[in-house]
Chains A and B, each alone.
Chain A
Amino acid sequence: MAIRRGRGVAAVNYPTGMNLGGDPSQALVHSTPTGNFMVTLSSVDLGQGLKQVMAQICAETIGVKTEQVIIDTADTDTGPHCMGTFASRGTHRIGNAVIQAAKEARQVMLEVAAEALEVDAGDLETDGEGNIHVKGAPQKSISIFDTALMAHFKLGRSISGRGMFLVPRSYPEVETGAMKPSTCYAHACTVAEVDVDDETGEVTVVSIKNVFEIGRALNPKMVEQQLVGGSWMGISHALYETTEPYYPARDHAGTDFNEYLMPGPGDIAPTEIVVLERPAEDGPYGAKGPGEMCANPQIPALANAIFDAVGVRIDMMPITPERILRALKEQRATAH
């Protein structure tokens, strides 16, 4: 009886979004009279930072500061259609819709400014600080605030844009079954090191080392936050979480989340995260979807590490001490 160390590796090729009957998201952008921009969505921010990233995307496209963009995700009854924030689709799908809407709004904004400055809209550019000026002649300038006022009060125009991003449904080829389930893929690889006590079946995660390739990280700190949390969730799925902790019979099953095993801060493992950025051709500013993927490769990596440590293959999650001990018992029985 001993504590045995093992190491396992796993990699994942992860599609951004999904493809059932087509995968659409829509966005509407309009200027307020103060020269701020409002993005209307029915996509929900669950805490992953959708609002922040959509504000960045809109601001970058229109040419204003991020603080000048307000994101409204208020109501799925009244907002533009969105399939939802799941399947790692938010940044990619909704971001692309926001870009299209913001481009249209920017074009109207430049047309209004062109009218005010008596120049051609094609000769104008934004300075990112809230002003529009003639290329090469920054003194010939109008603020976006004044541009909005002019549109609203003099020209009777709405500085606004409509955005739509649709990944059409992909049908499998009849002969080969080949299809295109996604337009871009994120990638990840995890190396897990564990200590397995072959007397108690307990697993201690010695280290988790992850590499994530996620397209461009639009907000690097929030990407890191997602990946750190996700990596931990992967470990937690692999080793701890179940609605029926340790007991096969329903009599002992949990009845709600209060009885759901949720590890605390004392159970975390030393974690390393490396981010690789290979911008996606069809991503908003190159982004892919890392959200769900970041909790995936830890699970097979840990299963492989446990196999490396004690030679048993556990194919049920979570890999509890009980399952390891039963597998070890079977292993000893067949060895004799």
Chain B
Amino acid sequence: MAKVPVQFSLNGEEKAEFVDSGSTLLKVLRDKMGDTSPKGGCLQGTCGSCSVVVDGELRLSCLTLAETCDGADIQTTAGLASDGVLHPLQRAFMDEFAAQCGFCTPGMIMAAKVLLDANPDPTREDVIEALSGNVCRCTGYEPIIRAVLTAARSNSQNAA
């Protein structure tokens, strides 16, 4: 199969790779770029564990062709911490015990990040709506919802 060149920014770093035409973004991120933070769960867009941010929008990387991301700005959970300091969402997920097996966590965090970037002061209903495309087997969702609300509060405190 013909290889196609793909070039994009991944967590602020320029990346370029020749990929099989039709490769999903998930496969390219994990197998070519070594970023295993997006997880392959259902691989058909129902579980949300592969969620990444492409040009500010939440995208299911298992259904996104890498070729369509040429020139894009891509963010994953692996790029959230800076200089060893955790992102407020990562900190809040730890503090609120919002992960057990952890498989859904990167997708949850990216979904929450897109929410908080657009709406720094969300209601509980806003959070539930934002996370509605992500499933979790372990936590019962409540600790995750609490973590997102906690992160929003800590963001607004830092801004004040």
Binding site for B on A (CB under 8 A): 46-49, 221-222, 224-226, 228-233, 257-258, 262-266, 268, 271
Contact = CB atoms under 8 A, between A and B. Distances in A.
Most buried by B among A49, A222, A226: A226
B134 to A, nearest CB: 7
Contacts of B21: none
B132 A266 contact: yes
Interface in B122-158: 127-129, 131-145
Contact of A225 (B46, B100, B102, B134): B100
Contacts of B16: none
B68 interface: no
Main secondary structure of the interface of B (DSSP, over half): loop
A285 B145 CA distance: 33
What 8 pairs across the A-B complex have the smallest Cβ distances? Answer: A232-B140, A47-B101, A47-B100, A265-B141, A229-B140, A225-B97, A265-B131, A229-B139
B119 to A, nearest CB: 16
Nearest to A219: B97
Most buried by B among A224, A229, A230, A231: A229
Nearest to A256: B42
Given A228-B139, A228-B140, A258-B46, A265 B145 contact: yes
A268 B137 contact: no
14 contacts: A47-B101, A221-B97, A228-B139, A229-B138, A229-B139, A233-B140, A258-B42, A262-B137, A265-B131, A265-B132, A265-B144, A266-B128, A266-B129, A266-B132
B42 A268 contact: no
Interface string B99-135: 1111000000000000000000000000111011111
A232 B139 CA distance: 8
Contacts of B136: 265
Given A228-B143, A233-B140, A257-B42, A48 B128 contact: no
Contacts of A226: 100
Given A265-B145, A271-B140, A229 B100 contact: yes
Contact of B131 (A46, A49, A233, A264): A264
A257 B49 CA distance: 14
Contacts of B102: 47
Main secondary structure of the interface of A (DSSP, over half): helix
Nearest to B145: A265
B42 A225 contact: no
Contacts of B44: 258
Contacts of A221: 97
Given A231-B140, A265-B132, 7 more contacts: A221-B97, A229-B138, A262-B47, A264-B133, A264-B135, A265-B136, A265-B141
Contacts of A233: 140
A232 B97 contact: no
Contacts of B101: 46-47
B97 A222 contact: yes
A262 B140 contact: no
A232 B46 contact: no
Contacts of B133: 264
Nearest to A47: B101
A268 B142 contact: yes
A257 B47 CA distance: 10
Contact of A48 (B100, B129, B131): B100
Nearest to A227: B140
Given A257-B42, A265-B144, A225 B139 contact: yes
Nearest to A46: B101
A232 B137 CA distance: 10
B60 to A, nearest CB: 13
A267 to B, nearest CB: 8
Contacts of B138: 47, 229
Contacts of B47: 262
Contact of B97 (A224, A264, A271): A224
Contact of B141 (A222, A225, A232): A232
Given A47-B100, A48-B100, A229-B100, A262 B139 contact: no
A262 B129 CA distance: 16
A166 to B, nearest CB: 29
A266 B134 CA distance: 10
